[in-house]
Amino acid sequence: MRIGINTWVWVSPFRSENFNLLPKVKEMGYDVIEIALDDASIIDARLLKKMLDDNGLEATVCGAFGPSRDISHEDPAIRKIGKDYILEGIRFAEKIGSNLFSGPVYSSVGKTRMISEDQKKREWQWCVENLRDISKTAQASGITIGVEPLNRFESDMINLVDQAVTLIHDVNSPVYKIHIDTFHGNIEEKSIPATIRKLGKGMLGHFHACENDRGTPGTGHQDWAGISSALKDIEYNGVVVIESFTPGAVEIAKAASIWRPLAPSQDELAREGAKFLRKTFCN
């Protein structure tokens, strides 16, 4: 297993001016930097690829799914915006040498409503149709797409890994894998280790190792020993990434309800988090 950290720990949006994060992330002991793709137009993908190589880092890419990036929306124009954004994310991942684009690809973050069963079925079908179309580009590019369940306060569509598995089965394409984030799982799953083991080998495509409060892993009440054991049982050999957010980044902090600092500093969260992940998942 390799360990990684998301750029949202420090900045949002991530742009070319922030490439100085790469040597810092490497010095802190990470193998991977996860690029949060708020806006691909403000990132020089060619230069980023060179800096990744120069610093001996791998990259993963995660999506930022605001209100207009929603492939299950009732408005076809918004569905198209969401689809185009995911396709752009796939192309960006390919440019920087990442084999992964991941996140809550099925809907926008913060869409929480009481809707009829008929409306749920319509939105599910729009989602399935779009993901099937998207899969052709992803497969041609060699990109895996991670489907990330969100907690009930951030989505009314997919909260459980079981629901994400159902979606992947309905889409029926090998490019889709499960993306577990332990912050969301801590709210929704009965047992994160049991959920991991139920997935079995080959179905888990990406993993966010997040403390119950989004602070430094190892400082809260997550069952890290059980989680690590379960990942080894299913022979997961992907990346384990810290995703947290700086309260200084207004838009993403609001979306993630980050109202206070989660560690004495973002650098300390990252540095201590790297030590904890290495000790917990790489021994």
Query: What Å distances lie between residue 258 and 74, 134, 195, 245, CA to CA?
Result: 29, 32, 27, 7
The answer to whether residue 148 is catalytic is yes
Task: List b or e across 233-256, with b for residues whose CB sees 16 or more CB atoms inside 10 angstroms.
Answer: ebebebbbbbbbbbeebeebbebb
The answer to whether residue 243 is catalytic is yes
Q: Rounded to whole angstroms, how far apart are CA atoms 115 and 120?
A: 7
Q: Annotated catalytic residue: which of 34, 148, 154, 211?
A: 148
Q: What is the DSSP letter of 220?
A: S
Give yes or no for a contact between 84 and 134, defined as CB atoms under 8 angstroms apart: no
The DSSP annotation for 17-41 comes to: GGTTHHHHHHHTT-SEEEEEES-GG
- Which residues are marked as active site? 148, 243
